[in-house]
Amino acid sequence: MDVSYKQALACCLLAVVCGCGAPKSSNDTAEDSNLSAAGEAKAGGETDATAKSASSASSASQPELDRLDMGNQSAGDASVGTSGSLPTLALPEGLNPQISLIYPSVSRAVASEDPQAWANLAVLSQQIAVDLATANQVDSSIDFFMQSGQALRKALAGGFAEFPESMPATIFVFEAMGLTARDQLDAAVGALDDAFDNGFTRLDLVTESNEFKALWNTDSYIKHLSRWESILAEHFAALVQADLQATKAFPFSFIANDVYGIEQNLESLKGKVVIVDLWGTWCPPCRAEVPVFIELQKRYGDQGLQVIGVNFERASTLAENTKLVTDMIRSLGINYPCLLGTEEIHNQVPEMAVFPTTLFIDRRGTIRLRLDGAREHSYLESAVKFLLAE
C-alpha cells in the first residue's frame, strides 16, 4: 500500500499537474513537458527531457509559499485552529522550517471563515501532503490531501477564485486518491466530480490507475463516468474547433519506404484521414503518446483513419536507426507504418520546434491541424472524430 501510493503520487505529480488542461491553441509549445528544438535533433544534440519534466512538475505541483496572503498575521504559538466541522490537523515534525513557521497562523486564521484564509490553508496543506508523501509518511499525507480538498471547497464556496491555474483540479484529484485509499469511495467520486468541474482532463488517470481501481465497479463511479466523459467531449471539441480554425495549411508530401521496406506514399492516402506523427524513440513524450495512436488506429482504421509515424532518430547509421524503430514497433505493438524521417520531410514543416509534432490531414489531402507537442487522448480522438465526420 505505501509503495504503490508513493509511486502513484510520483506519476500523478507529472501527469495531473502538467496535464490538467489541454493547451488552448495548436501554436502553444508546452516546453516544460515536451522535447525541444527539432534543430537540436537534426544536429544530434539531446535535451534531458526527464530532468526538465521533473523540474517542471516540482515547481508546478508544490504551491509557492510566497503566494500565501498572510495579511498581518504572525506565527505566534504552535497551536492550530478549529472552525465549524473542520478542525485543522496538527503539523508533523521534520517538515520545512518555513512551513512550521507559518502553518499555525494559517490554521488559526480559518476561524474567521474568510475565503482567503481557507485558500491559504488549501494551498499549504497540499504542499505539506506532497512533502509527507515524498518522505513516505503515507497516512499523514492522506490526511493533509483531504484537509486541502475540504479547505478548497470552503474557499470556492466563499467566492475565492485566485488560485494558480490547475491547482483546484490537482487538489481534488489527490484528495480523491486519499479517499479511495481510505475506502471512502462515494466521497472519492465526489472529489473527482469536483476535479472535473474545475478543469481536470486526465480521465485516463482515473480509468486506468490502480489507485482508483476500487471505484470502478461502484454505482457512484458508474453513474458519474458518463458525466465526466460528456464534460471532456464538450471541452475538447471546443479546443479542436478553435485549433482547426487557427491552423494554416502548408504543402506536405512524401514517398518513402518504411522500416520494413514497404513504400509509403502520402498522396495515395487521399480519401482517408491521416495522422502523421513526427517523433523519435529517444523522446519520452513521443513514446507516451504512441499508445494513443495505436488505439486510434485500432478503433477508427475501418472508418478511414491511417496513422503514419515519421521517425527522426539519433544513431549514426541507417541500420542502427532502423533497428531502433523496429525494436520500438515490437515493444509497443505499433500497428501502423513507421518510416525514417529525412531533412526534406522535416523542412516541409514550417518552424518545426518540438517533438512530437503531429499533422492531421483531411480526406482531400489538406493539413487541417498541426500540434506542436503531445496532447491528451481525448483531444486527439476528438480531432479524429471531427475529420472523419466531414
Catalytic residues, which ones? 283, 286
- Angle (CA) 205-211-216 rounded to 5° is 75
Own/partner long-range contacts of 291-294 (Cβ < 8 Å, ≥24 apart): 291/332, 292/377, 292/380, 292/381, 293/334, 293/336, 293/380, 294/332, 294/333, 294/334, 294/335, 294/336
Q: Is the peptide bond before 284 cis (omega within 30 degrees of 0)?
A: no
In angstroms, the CA 167 to CA 152 distance is: 10
**Of 41, 46, 50, 48, which is closest to residue 349 (Cα–Cα)?**
41
Rg (CA), the chain: 23
Q: Is the peptide bond before 63 cis (omega within 30 degrees of 0)?
A: no
Element containing residue 291 per DSSP (H, E): helix 284-300
Which 3 state secondary structure label does DSSP give 160? coil
Element containing residue 278 per DSSP (H, E): strand 273-279
Which 3 state secondary structure label does DSSP give 357? strand
- Contact in structure between 340 and 259 (CB atoms under 8 Å): yes
Residue 56 grid coordinates:
517542471
For strand 357-361 and strand 367-372, is the pairing parallel, antiparallel, or unpaired?
Answer: antiparallel
Around Cβ 135, how many Cβ atoms within 10 Å?
14
